[in-house]
């Protein structure tokens, strides 16, 4: 999937965090390319990067019964991909969710399609597929109970989490 707009991350906090992670990635690259392979400096940088991404979760909402990404969300994902390309130590976990309406099998398939839709945008923008792990939980981790019509939109989502891998150095 490709969107036809300029790439940028609009949320200043996320942009700042990704910039900071990028700077640490550069420092990590310098330390690991040295004669001693990095040692304690590399370990400290990796630990600090892990602490930074631990609380970072990105939620991508979807419409009822759909796995199509809206343009404005696609733009945000493209911006995220741009940042991720410069930070190879960060791997991405993409988990699809659905609301409690519909059968278990249908919800799981829909949630997986949602996760793949997000994954496809990131890959199309240059993030290596090996860095992405996509899966689905369907309605099993729904926040709102069945019958709470006001909560359904919040359960139709993909949650993106991040992890710092030493292999990405």
Kindly state the tokens that stand for 169: 């150095």
Average pLDDT over residues 34-57: 77
In our burial notation (b when 16+ CB lie closer than 10 A, e otherwise), range 145-157 reads eeeeeeebeebbb
Number of domains the chain is built from: 1
Q: Report if residue 63 sits inside a domain.
A: yes
Four-CA torsion 100, 104, 107, 108, nearest 10 degrees: 130
Range of the domain at 44: 12-168
Distance between CA atoms of 142 and 123, rounded to whole angstroms?
27
Q: Report if residue 118 sits inside a domain.
A: yes
Beta bridge partners of 136: 96
Q: Report if residue 70 sits inside a domain.
A: yes
Kindly state the tokens that stand for 67: 């796995």
pLDDT in tens, 71-127: 999 999 998 999 899 888 899 999 999 998 889 999 999 999 999 999 999 999 999
Model's pTM, two decimal places? 0.79
Helix, strand, coil fractions of the chain, as percent rounded to 5:
50, 15, 35
The CATH number covering residue 89 comes to 3.30.1330.60
Number of helices (H) and strands (E), helices first, in the chain? 5, 4
Q: Report if residue 5 sits inside a domain.
A: no
DSSP letters spanning 73-125: HHHHHHHHHHHHHT-TTEEEEEEEE--S-S-HHHHHHHHHHHHHHHHHHHHHT
Q: Report if residue 6 sits inside a domain.
A: no
* Residue 48 pLDDT: 84
Q: Report if residue 1 sits inside a domain.
A: no
* Residue 95 pLDDT: 97
Q: Report if residue 7 sits inside a domain.
A: no
> What average pLDDT does the chain have?
84
pLDDT in tens, 14-31: 777 778 888 888 888 887
Q: 144 phi and psi, to 5 degrees?
A: -105, 140
């Amino acid at each position: 999937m490709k969107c036809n707009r300029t790439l940028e991350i609009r949320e200043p906090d996320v942009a700042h965090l990704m910039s900071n992670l990028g700077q640490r990635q550069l420092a990590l690259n310098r330390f690991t390319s040295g004669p001693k392979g990095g040692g304690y400096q590399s370990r400290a940088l990796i630990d600090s990067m892990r602490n930074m991404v631990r609380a970072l979760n990105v939620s991508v909402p979807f419409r009822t019964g759909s796995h199509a990404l809206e343009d404005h969300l696609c733009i945000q994902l493209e911006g995220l991909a741009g940042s991720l390309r410069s930070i190879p130590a960060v791997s991405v976990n993409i988990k699809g969710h659905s609301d409690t309406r519909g059968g278990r099998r249908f919800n799981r398939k829909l949630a997986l399609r949602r996760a793949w839709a997000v994954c496809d945008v990131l890959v199309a923008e240059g993030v290596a597929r090996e860095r992405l792990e996509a899966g689905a939980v369907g309605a099993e981790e729904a926040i709102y109970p069945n019958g709470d019509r006001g909560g359904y939109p919040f359960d139709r989502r993909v949650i993106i989490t991040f992890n710092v891998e030493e292999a990405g150095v």
